[in-house]
Amino acid sequence: MPIVNPYVPSYITVHLGTPSSSAQNVTVSFPDYIKNVASSEIYPTWSESAIYANIYAQISFALNRIYLEHYPSQGYTFNITNSTAYDQAFSPGRNIFDNIGRIVDNIFNNYIRRMGYAEPLAAIYCNGTTSTCNGLSQWGSEELANQGYSSINILKYYYGYNIELVQDAPVADLQASYPGYPLQRGSTGDYVVVIQRSLVRIAQNYPSIPNINPIDGVFGESTERAVTVFQEIFNLTADGIVGKSTWYKLVYLYVAVNKLGELESQGQRLFGISLSYPDAISEGNRGEKVYVLQYFLSVLAQFYDFIPFVEITGTFGPQTTEAVIAFQKSEDLPQTGIVNDITWNEIYREFRGIVTTVFDENNTTSRFIPFSGTTLKLGSKGEEVVTLQQYINNISDINPNIAPVAVTGDYNEETMNSVMQYQKEFGLKVTGEVDRATWNSIGGTYLDVVSSKNPQPTQYPGYELKAGQSDSARN
């Protein structure tokens, strides 16, 4: 649920049956688990690049289950099952093939993720003969390997070209997201930020949950009210206190609404919240804007070697200061380590440039125009209104609660009504006017919509494509 740096667990607990069965649980080291899965799922005689690709998928699938606390959030005491109907094969005591064991020892802490996302990819796969899926084909990967494909190109063939390999992820003891104590009125800190951010996102699907404003890490009246309504909806004790049951129901629902356990998930990204300059932030600050800054910097660090890695914690520490100074140096800005309006806007400009280049390489329309500083309202005219109306129409394509508008450049009543619909839908103050917060939220949602409309190419569909053929039939 929180945006954290994923890790590889030292050990993993496997349930030897379907999730609800009364089967035995076994705990094994994570490398031994992957060796067993790989030896159960694939053949040691396959080409090395195919073996690597399959093992990367198996590692990533397991880490996705752990990262999302998939089974603990449902009340189970294990991390994964050995049922191939739900997870992947595991057979206690089975023989491990030598070459697979050596490969796993080298790469057990490497995994796949989508660029710009935090969570390990839910790398779905199937054998490609008796069963097919929207993921990697095991036998198909061997065919690609025989054609000269490398392991990473096999993975990109099946999962899309916006994936990357995270290498040498840290190994740690299995961790639970729940802090170990209840959070309630008066509580403060990062765990409260997690609760607030999760409730705000879940409320988009369950609009009866009251809005929390601001997201500040302080468990006040609005947070308590939102928690209580959440508990009422999901038949929990409605006391406004986030104990273990409420915490893990939040985890479960947050994962569900963002589809983080699916191959084409929405991902743990930060669009849809205000990306405007938050007033100067510096070492010692914490909260939502620090999360956003660290997210921006973590993406930049993947493309610019001079920017050091930044862990996304929501706390502005020395590591974040170092990254900010490195960025300021590259832009010939004063190297203060303090993020003022100029530094914030330059970081955001670089971030958006990367996102639009990587995800919308051939799409010149998917560009976010920064807020000009002038609130748009009834009677406003000009290019900014045209842009706003175009954003609204893209959003309305997938959200029937927001009406499309004519692109006229005139901020008329039709545009005002659609803006009010958007503000209501996304928990903003309903004014009918587009200030900085509304502009940035609409722009961020527009970028999400455009990304979903322009998916990356994935795998061969499994049948020959002929002239005149459409998606609705295989002629």
Rounded average pLDDT over 284-290: 80
Q: Is the pLDDT of residue 51 over 50?
A: yes
As a whole number of angstroms, the distance between CA 361 and CA 338 comes to: 32
Q: Is the pLDDT of residue 266 over 60?
A: no
Q: Which segment of 143-147, 186-190, 447-451 scores lowest on mean pLDDT?
A: 447-451
pLDDT tens profile 160-177: 877 888 888 888 888 888
- The CA–CA distances, whole Å, from 252 to 156, 234, 372, 383 equal 29, 11, 39, 43
Rounded average pLDDT over 439-468: 56
Q: Is the pLDDT of residue 290 over 80?
A: yes
Q: What is the CA radius of gyration of the chain?
A: 24
What is residue 367's predicted lDDT score, i.e. its pLDDT? 55
Per-residue pLDDT band at 3 (split at 50, 70, 90):
very low
Higher pLDDT, residue 328 or 269: 328
- DSSP H helices, 270-409, are 288-303, 318-330, 341-359, 383-396
Angle in degrees, 0-180, between the axes of helices 221-233 and 244-258, rounded to the nearest 10: 80
Q: Is the pLDDT of residue 230 over 70?
A: yes
Residue 13: strand pairing partners: 27
Q: Which segment of 82-86, 278-282, 385-389 scores lowest on mean pLDDT?
A: 278-282
Q: Is the pLDDT of residue 18 over 60?
A: yes
pLDDT tens profile 335-376: 999 999 889 888 887 876 666 554 443 343 445 566 677 899
Higher pLDDT, residue 279 or 403: 403
Q: Is the pLDDT of residue 450 over 50?
A: yes
- The CA–CA distances, whole Å, from 164 to 52, 110, 269, 285, 339 equal 14, 10, 16, 31, 29
Rounded average pLDDT over 82-104: 95
What is residue 464's predicted lDDT score, i.e. its pLDDT? 47
As a whole number of angstroms, the distance between CA 232 and CA 472 comes to: 43
Model confidence pTM above 0.85: no
As a whole number of angstroms, the distance between CA 319 and CA 290 comes to: 12
Rounded average pLDDT over 283-298: 82
Phi, psi of 283 (to 5 degrees): -55, 130
Give 3-state DSSP helix, strand, coil % of the chain, rounded to 5: 40, 10, 50
Rounded average pLDDT over 114-137: 86
Per-residue pLDDT band at 272 (split at 50, 70, 90):
very low
Per-residue pLDDT band at 277 (split at 50, 70, 90):
low
